[in-house]
Chains A and B, each alone.
Chain A
Amino acid sequence: MAKEATQQAEGGTERTPQWAMAIDLDRCTGCEACVLACASENNVPTAGEDQAAMGRTKHWIRIDRYYEGEFPDIKVKYRPVMCQQCDEAPCEPVCPVNATYQNAEGLNVQIYNRCIGTRYCANNCPYTVRFFNWFAPEWAEPLNLQLNPDVSIRPAGVMEKCTFCAHKIKRAKLDADAEGRELADGDVQPACVQSCPAEAMVFGDMTDPDSKVARQLGSGRSGQLLESLGTKPRVFYLEKAD
């Protein structure tokens, strides 16, 4: 169910932003700064070697990398991949308790205290970006001091994934409200976007034609991951220009 482009908020004249991200693969270097920026912002725990060996690390954002060709004519294709915030999200309809759904701004949200841990959503996500908490996360003291109080710690038995830094969206709205103004383009910077040294990522309201993200979508290099599946992702990739 694709969202109306310019949905009106209840009783107000404010536009409901439709969040989207554009990642310019011609700028991205594969440095993985975004991966740790996300872990730091969102209290994403490390799993340790044994759990990692079972494929149980949590990387809300990862760099997919694939080699193409053979030495010496070898290339590597890579891209940062996080929850694609699909408009037609395969993870949503399979959740028996509606713990995951698309909100009015196009975010695929995950309600931790509603989640009962069936893991159907993770099975059904074609991008493998959902992570299950098999155990309660642990931080050896005093590593726990680094935890961000704005983001809840996910207990054992629930699913987690990239939120597009929903708490930062909220913070930016409160800031704008406090200053009596509307949200401006660039006010919301998810942690990965904020950190990216190559300035490969932009985030914003895709229905605002003046936003950076809208301009990137119109660049002619823009596409989506596994587009043919019809999931209608809100993450757009600008292909390399070579």
Chain B
Amino acid sequence: MDRRNFVKLVGTASGGAVTGACGRQAEEIIPLLVPEESVPVGVEQWHPSVCSECSAACGTLARVMASEREIEVGGELVRQKIAAVKKIEGNPLDPVSGGRLCARGHASLQSLYNPDRLRSPLKRVGPRASGQFEAISWDDAIAEAAGALVAADPGRILFLARAREGVRSENIARFLDAIGAPPATSIGVGDFAAEREASESVFGRSGLPLYEIQDSTLVLSIGADLLGGWVSPVLYSRRYGHMRQGRRELRGRLIHAESRFSLTAWNADRWLPVWPGGELALALAIGHELLGEQGADAPASVVSIFADVDLEQAAAEAGVPVEAIRQTASELAQASAPVVVAGASMVRQNSADAVAAAAALNWLLGCVGKPGGVIPPAEPLGVLGRRRRFSGDWSERLEQAAVVLVDGVNPAYNAPASQRALADAETVISFSPFLDDTSAFADLILPDHDPLEQSLLEVPPVSPTPSFVAAGEFVAPLYDSRPIATVLSELAEAAEQPFEELTVGQAVSTLYSALGSAGSETSASDFEARTLRVGGWRGQPSGKPPATPGTLGPFEMAPKQEGIVLQAYESPQFGSGSGANRPWLQELPDPTSSALWGLPVEVDPETAARLGLVNGDNVRIRSEHGSLEAPVYVNPAAIPGVVSMAVGQGHASYGRYASGRGANPMVIVGDGRDETTGCPTMGPTPISIEKIAGGARLVQFSRQDRDLPPHRV
């Protein structure tokens, strides 16, 4: 769907079918649930929706057409006519996606139609994590869950959820208020906890800064795999394309510093391989050099963190030659529109510090709020307050918790050490639509609708203009699931606690009043109607938000780990692991290794030669925390001594496509946490590697790593 056609459709949409003039399939755009019988065969409808696969909250369009499914009625198979989603595309009116989509966004369709979705509430009947459940009615499920909540000391109720800004988070917050429980906590995974913490200290604002790379002449990214899944991959890929070839006679350059040859490193003009954990040292060293290059008219609190850095020592700890640091600093100093993108795609123990130091370089470069620079986070919109959702001690609180509620996160997988606490908790309640690693520990699973089956309103963490994305309901739910807001209302009612659900409609009206000049609409109801028709609201950039650095540092560099270490990372297709049950993503070649249906351990050529390893050999990797077995991929671009493995496989439970497939590197990296945010760290962890016989096979889409004749013609 392109912009012109979508705008045309929005303009003509009336809620009734638009009939094609020439008998060709007509198109219409209808935001709300349509009865199945009003979906004519062969007619496509486009409904605005919101992608929920990562935290970027891209605005999308769902292509809906008449379809049929087989269901059982009274023991007989009958065909039922339904409206089905055929494809997801970006919404061209959405400032984040701009009508584009990433691979995970496409595969969200295979969450909706996943054959392993839960069909009804489940109650555990076997031991925890045994996977033995029986279906129960919603009435019984609500009564049991409410009973557990009422019986518990409210202070020992722990709700683990994603740190998003939207109606869903707001309802969870209201519910916890109502029952007197503490606010929901993020486990940090996929929420860019370190970046958010750093933003408070560097810009004095909560949220995530927006990098204006499309207008930069030189981008240095430190630790941020911005083209491979960091913060807002579609938005930053669009901006990257523009930076390279969108301006006449001006091609921006990219230097990328990361401990792995990620997609962003692929695309960089220069890759600075940093020893894992050395990101902070690198940022400090570059800052120190910049102080020498530029007059230090930056805020004093910023200058002070870089002034006393010992360059030689910092370079050694970063594992980057002094010369490369000097050159990078001097190129930044000379660039007319430089920017430093600061991130922690791989979370370390000191990530919040590392990101803060890297982001603070922008003050030295004088590019905060400038074209091609960085824009500090905007104020939160209206009713949807930006609450603090990170807690460095969530693991400890999990151990103390009587009732654990889990929505949208998978601690048993992403922080395997939490399995013990999940096994010991008095009651675990999950809202997952799948029997995943964590819901396998639950006493009750109250399956949520798929995101495509419910109304949504989300505020994207970064957007070129103030905006939110919203969607109404447009296809009937396939199974006996319920949206979480409904379940929370029912739980509150059963527990006799006052809870008022915030609906998407109410949120839109409240935003209308809060935003004042929301647009040309003259009433809240007009505004709501238009919002749902176009998939959200986008305002005007509110000028330069004032920002001043808060308290920064002092930062302590961590000594470089010796010996062979392992780092886990999030791959573009599997993210933190939730993509693994989509067959499309399993069969999408891993960019690094070209692996399909499994992920290898990536070993550098030197180490591989020493251990006698070739592609497809199997190894056992041990750390003080655990061991795993997996096939090897000899990665020509790996840093010698740094073994990497993508997160994604190794689910104990996650449906037919993911369960029991491959290994989970989080088992090896252990229970380290970023000190400020509680986010599980992804290494580096000292390991030993040993070659073993047999084991899993390495299936590769392409076994050829080098372009050989006759291709080189």
Q: Please list the residues of chain A having a beta carbon within 8 angstroms of any beta carbon in chain B.
A: 24, 26-27, 29-33, 35-37, 39-41, 46-49, 52-53, 57, 59, 62-68, 70-72, 74, 76-78, 140-149, 171, 174-175, 177-179, 186, 189, 194-200, 226-229, 241-242
Q: Are A65 and B106 touching (Cβ within 8 A)?
A: no
Interface residues of B in 77-131 (CB under 8 A from A): 82, 84-90, 99-103, 105-107, 109-110, 112-115
What A residues does B713 contact at CB under 8 A? 226-229
B269 lies within 8 A of A242 (CB): yes
Give chain B's interface secondary structure class: loop
Shortest Cβ distance from B485 into chain A, in angstroms? 25
Which residues of chain B come closer than 8 Å to A226, judged between CB atoms? 711, 713
| Alpha-carbon separation in the docked complex, A115 to B88 (Å) | 31
| A143 x B591 contact (CB < 8 A) | no
Are the CB atoms of B266 and A33 closer together than 8 Å?
no
CB neighbors of A among B585-617 (8 A): 585-589, 591, 594, 596-598, 604-605
**In the complex, chain B residues 40-57 whose Cβ is within 8 Å of any chain A Cβ:** 42
Bound Cα distance A42, B620 (Å): 40
Q: Which of B22, B88, B105, B591 contacts A30 (CB under 8 A)? A: B591
Interface residue from A27, A30, A53, A175 paired with B263 (Cβ < 8 Å):
A30
**A71 nearest CB across to chain B (Å):** 6
Contacting residues, chain B, for A141 (C-beta < 8 A):
69-70, 115
Contacts of A53 in B (CB 8 A): 697, 699
The interface bits of chain B over 687-702 (1 if a CB of A lies within 8 angstroms of the residue's CB, else 0) are 0000000000101011
* Residue B315 CB within 8 A of the other chain: no
State the Cβ distance, A36 to closest chain B Cβ, in Å: 4
A72 and B271 in contact, given A174-B24, A226-B711 (Cβ under 8 angstroms): yes
Distance between Cα atoms of A47 and B586 in the complex (Å):
10
Q: How far is the CA of A140 from the CA of B85 in the complex (A)?
A: 16
CA distance A65 to B594 in the complex (A): 9
A-B contacts, 5 listed (Cβ < 8 Å): A57-B596, A63-B589, A140-B115, A143-B583, A146-B85
Residues of chain B within 8 A of A67, CB atoms compared? 636-637, 705-706
Measured between alpha carbons, how far is A225 from B289 in the docked complex, in Å? 44
Closest CB-CB distance, B517 to chain A, in whole Å?
31
With a cutoff of 8 Å between Cβ atoms, the chain A residues found around residue B4 in the complex are 186
A32 adjacent to B573 (CB under 8 Å): yes
Residues in B neighbouring A186, C-beta threshold 8 A: 2, 4
Q: Is the CB of B227 within 8 A of A74?
A: no
Of the residues A26, A46, A178, A196, contact of B584 by C-beta under 8 Å: A46
Supply 6 further A-B pairs (C-beta < 8 A) apart from A62-B702, A72-B271: A37-B106, A71-B605, A194-B1, A196-B100, A197-B102, A197-B238
- A177 and B594 CA atoms in complex are apart in Å by 44
A71 and B2: CB pair below 8 A? Answer: no
Nearest CB in chain A to that of B100: its residue: A197
Q: A195 contacts which of B100, B266, B588 (Cβ < 8 Å)?
A: B100
- Give the segment of B239-247, B326-334, B378-386, B540-548 that binds chain A: B239-247
A41 nearest in chain B by CB position: B87
Asked if residues A194 and B89 are in contact (CB atoms below 8 Å), the reply is yes
- Chain A residue contacts of B115, Cβ below 8 A: 140-143
Interface-centre pick from A26, A31, A39, A177 (highest chain B CB count, 10 A): A31
Which residues, 659 to 711 on B, are CB-close (under 8 Å) to A?
Answer: 697, 699, 701-702, 704-707, 711
List residues of chain B with CB within 8 A of the CB of A196: 100
Residue B20 at the A interface, CB < 8 A? yes
Compute how far the CA of A65 lies from the CA of B67 in the bound complex, rounded to whole angstroms. Answer: 38
In the assembled complex, the Cα of A64 lies from the Cα of B103 at a distance in Å of: 17
Contacts of A41 in B (CB 8 A): 87
B69 touches A145 (CB 8 A): yes
Contact flag A72-B237 (CB < 8 Å), given A32-B588, A36-B588:
no
* Measured CA separation A64–B100 after assembly (Å): 22
Give residues 239-278 of B contacting A (CB, 8 Å): 240-242, 244-245, 251, 261, 263, 266-267, 269, 271, 273
Interface residues of B (CB under 8 A from A): 1-2, 4, 20-22, 24-25, 42, 65, 67, 69-70, 82, 84-90, 99-103, 105-107, 109-110, 112-115, 227-228, 233-234, 237-238, 240-242, 244-245, 251, 261, 263, 266-267, 269, 271, 273, 478, 572-573, 583-589, 591, 594, 596-598, 604-605, 636-640, 656, 697, 699, 701-702, 704-707, 711, 713
When distances are taken between beta carbons in the complex, the residues of chain B under 8 Å from A140 are 115, 656
The closest CB in chain A to the CB of B475 belongs to A145
A143 to B261, CA, bound (A): 35
- A36 touching B106 by the CB < 8 A rule? yes
Taking a contact as CB atoms closer than 8 A, the residue among B70, B103, B244, B598 that contacts A31 in the complex is: B103
Closest chain A residue, CB of each to CB of B101: A195
Given contacts A49-B598, A66-B707, A72-B273, contact A174 B22 (CB under 8 A): yes
What separation, in Å, do the CA atoms of A33 and B67 have in the docked complex? 26
The 4 closest A-B pairs by CB, nearest first: A198-B241, A197-B237, A66-B707, A27-B241
- The closest CB in chain A to the CB of B87 belongs to A40
Q: Whole-angstrom distance between the alpha carbons of A124 and B122 in the complex?
A: 54
B21 & A27 in contact (Cβ 8 Å cutoff): no
Quick check: A200 and B707 within 8 Å, CB to CB? no
B245 touches A57 (CB 8 A): no
Inter-chain contact B89/A57, CB cutoff 8 Å: no
Tell me the minimal C-beta distance from B461 to chain A in angstroms. 17
CB distance from A79 to the nearest CB of B (A): 11
| Chain A residues whose CB sits within 8 angstroms of the CB of B699 once the complex forms | 49, 52-53
Residues on B with beta carbons closer than 8 Å to the beta carbon of A36 = 103, 106-107, 584-585, 588
Given contacts A29-B266, A31-B233, A199-B100, contact A63 B591 (CB under 8 A): yes
Q: Is the CB of A241 within 8 A of B245?
A: yes
Task: Point out the residues of chain A lying under 8 angstroms from B639, CB to CB.
Answer: 71-72
Residues of B within 8 A of A200 (CB): 241
Bound Cα distance A64, B227 (Å)? 18
Nearest opposing residue in chain A for B236, CB measure: A197
- Compute how far the CA of A126 lies from the CA of B355 in the bound complex, rounded to whole angstroms: 47
**What is the CA–CA distance of A62 and B704 in the complex, to the nearest angstrom?**
14
Residues of B within 8 A of A195 (CB): 89-90, 100-101, 106
List A contacts of B84 (CB < 8 A).
Answer: 145-146
Residue of A with least CB distance to B235: A197
Q: Which of A74, A171, A198 contacts B237 (CB 8 A)?
A: A198
By a CB distance below 8 angstroms, the chain A residues around B88 are 40
A70 neighbours in B (Cβ, 8 Å): 605, 636
CB distance from B540 to the nearest CB of A (A): 24
A37, A77, A143: the one contacting B113 at CB < 8 Å is A143
In the complex, how many angstroms separate the beta carbon of B124 from the nearest chain A beta carbon? 26
Q: How far is the CB of B60 from chain A (nearest CB, A)?
A: 11
Q: How far is the CA of A95 from the CA of B291 in the complex (A)?
A: 69
Within 8 Å CB of B704, what residues of A?
Answer: 66
In the complex, what residue of chain B is closest to A29 when comparing beta carbons?
B227
Nearest-Cβ distance from residue A92 to partner chain B, whole angstroms:
21
Which residues of B lie under 8 Å from residue A63 when comparing CB positions?
Answer: 589, 591
A31 with B237: CB separation less than 8 A: yes
Given contacts A64-B702, A74-B261, A241-B244, contact A40 B273 (CB under 8 A): no
Is there an interface contact between B113 and A71, defined as CB atoms closer than 8 Å? no
